[in-house]
Amino acid sequence: MLALPDTNTVREYAARWLERKKNLATNSRNRYTQHLETACKTGLGDLRLQSVRPHHIKDALSSLADQVKKRKRTACWRPTQPTQ
């Protein structure tokens, strides 16, 4: 008998994965949660896990890179090099 295709989304899978990580430090759990939420906002989160293809990953990475560039352009504070 064939198994039915998995209907879980990437977001659902990520949430279950994080729940199974019982021994994570609080900071690590918070960081993982933040990264997963950011990745899911690129459009990956709503895709069925089995339907994710390389082009979805490339699109998500491109979107994340654009967000980083945009934040750098709009940052009001920039670290300065120490004077010698």
Mean pLDDT of all residues in 13-29: 94
Which has the closest alpha carbon to 39: 8, 9, 7? 9
pLDDT of residue 2: 45
Between the CA of residue 80 and those of 4, 35, 68, what are the distances in Å? Answer: 56, 27, 19
The tens digit of pLDDT for each residue in 31-78 reads 999 999 999 999 899 999 999 999 999 999 999 999 888 877 766 655
Query: Which has more pLDDT, 78 or 20?
Result: 20
pLDDT band at 20 (very low <50, low <70, confident <90, very high): very high
Residue 3 pLDDT > 60: no
pLDDT band at 14 (very low <50, low <70, confident <90, very high): very high
